[in-house]
Amino acid sequence: MKKIFIASLSEGEGKSTAGISIGLNINKKLGYMKPFGDNPIYKNKKLGDYDALLFKQLFNIDEPMEEMSFGMMHSKIIHYYEDIQKEMEDRYKKLSKGKEFFIFEGGENVWKGSSIGFDSITISSKFNAPLIFIISGDKYEILDKMHYLNSIKNVAGVILNKAKKEEFEIAKEKADDIGINIFGYIPEIKKLKFMKVSYVVEKLSGKIVAGEDGINKYIENIFIAALSSSEIKRHPDFKKKNKLIITGGDRSDVITACIDENTSAIILTNNIIPSSNILAKADREELPLISVRPDTYTVARHIENIPRVILPDEKEKIDEIKKKASIDVKSINDNI
């Protein structure tokens, strides 16, 4: 069985995107593990990681989602498992049984989990799973990272993410001199930045008070409606499409003004719910109104920090990855 460990030097480099592309093209029965999760989801009273759920459902993996990750916090992992390394080995045996290709996915950066032996390099070495690093940046950042990664043992190569073809060609020309393989690149895919309303509701622990039929809409832009309704309508950001509006639940004038303006959803802060006629209008327009307890500033900051994910039912995102990613899976298979 072939194994790889998909890692990154920093957060948000696109490990899951690359893993999806490889999995879709490898044409083998896939196994998956993300030892250190970073985006929790509770499903059927079990704690898992969003990426684990995605890989389980996308690639029809039989094993439970919660067994693909150990948790999100060092302290809880240490508390729950008397012998962490033995638990890791036992889970790997179970998750890899009957598989033809196995993907480990690292934490948000290469050193995450080092103190408990969960970092990318330690696990890669332990299970003899060659490292594939996902890197991004301008051409000089990419070359710096390639030079640096060539000094790390067990690195099979790199994949460029959010890269232009010209950047890939420049890196490819330098690869032999540096002594590192480049397995391909993924261009910037704008759709991957979008979030479903349903996902935002879950991450905020919000309550939908109207317009529930619109929870599968996408959020592309975020607008904090702190001005008067007349000033809001003149603001250039208000004209952007697929907006998430954040405003106080007592701002009836603002809420009414936003319902018909290409809005995906409205978050009502301070746990205040508007009048029944506004709720009825939102229901008719299938525009989710989401009530949350915190104030507008706190909610806006929280939303800014919500990890962008690919949900199992987001076929449009997965199709975009399949269509646009240019990764040489045969070269990966030959070099691991």
The pLDDT tens digits of the residues spanning 70-113 come to 999 999 999 999 999 999 999 999 999 999 999 999 999 999 99
Q: What mean pLDDT comes out for the span 14-33?
A: 96
Is the confidence at residue 229, as pLDDT, over 80? no
> For residue 281, is it within any domain?
yes
Residue 187 — very low, low, confident or very high, per pLDDT cuts 50/70/90? Answer: very high
Average pLDDT, the chain: 94
What CA–CA distance (Å, rounded) separates 151 from 323? 33
Is the confidence at residue 228, as pLDDT, over 90? no
> For residue 101, is it within any domain?
yes
Mark whether 74 and 211 lie in a shared domain: no
pLDDT computed for residue 257 by the predictor: 86
Mark whether 105 and 136 lie in a shared domain: yes
> For residue 309, is it within any domain?
no
The pLDDT tens digits of the residues spanning 30-70 come to 999 999 999 999 888 888 999 999 999 999 999 999 999 99
Is the confidence at residue 28, as pLDDT, over 90? yes
The pLDDT tens digits of the residues spanning 277-302 come to 999 999 999 999 999 999 999 999 99
Cα angle, residue 156 at apex, residues 28 and 121 outer, rounded to 5°: 100
Residue, of 144 and 228, whose pLDDT is higher = 144
Mark whether 187 and 202 lie in a shared domain: no
Q: What mean pLDDT comes out for the span 243-257?
A: 92
pLDDT computed for residue 260 by the predictor: 75
pTM of the model: 0.92
Q: Which domain holds residue 6?
A: 2-191+314-334
Mark whether 203 and 125 lie in a shared domain: no
Mark whether 176 and 213 lie in a shared domain: no
pLDDT computed for residue 235 by the predictor: 86
Mark whether 239 and 326 lie in a shared domain: no
Residue 137 — very low, low, confident or very high, per pLDDT cuts 50/70/90? Answer: very high
Read off the CATH number of the domain in which 284 is found.
Answer: 3.40.1390.20
> For residue 236, is it within any domain?
yes
Nearest CA among 169, 147, 49 for reference residue 107: 49
pLDDT computed for residue 40 by the predictor: 92
Q: What is the count of structural domains for the chain? A: 2
Mark whether 231 and 203 lie in a shared domain: yes
Mark whether 158 and 239 lie in a shared domain: no
pLDDT computed for residue 30 by the predictor: 97
Mark whether 162 and 175 lie in a shared domain: yes
Q: What mean pLDDT comes out for the span 195-214?
A: 96
Is the confidence at residue 327, as pLDDT, over 90? yes
Read off the CATH number of the domain in which 60 is found.
Answer: 3.40.50.300
Q: What mean pLDDT comes out for the span 234-240?
A: 85
pLDDT computed for residue 24 by the predictor: 96
Mark whether 87 and 172 lie in a shared domain: yes
Mark whether 146 and 254 lie in a shared domain: no
Q: What mean pLDDT comes out for the span 246-251?
A: 92
> For residue 227, is it within any domain?
yes
Residue 261 — very low, low, confident or very high, per pLDDT cuts 50/70/90? Answer: confident
The pLDDT tens digits of the residues spanning 159-176 come to 999 999 999 999 999 999
Q: Which of the residue ranges 146-155, 184-193, 250-259 would you say has the lowest mean pLDDT?
A: 250-259
Residue type, 175: A
Can you give the chain as a three-state secondary structure string?
CEEEEEECCCCCCCHHHHHHHHHHHHCCCEEEECCECCCEEEECCEEEEHHHHHHHHHCCCCCCHHHCCCECCHHHHHHHCCCHHHHHHHHHHHHHCCCCEEEEECCCCCCCCHHHCCCHHHHHHHCCCCEEEEECCCHHHHHHHHHHHCCCCCEEEEEEECCCHHHHHHHHHHHHHHCCCEEEEECCCHHHHCEEHHHHHHHHCCEEEECHHHCCCEECEEEECCCCHHHHHHCHHHHCCCEEEEEECCCHHHHHHHHCCCEEEEEEECCCCCCHHHHHHHHHHCCCEEECCCCHHHHHHHHHCCCCCCCCCCHHHHHHHHHHCEECHHHHHHCC
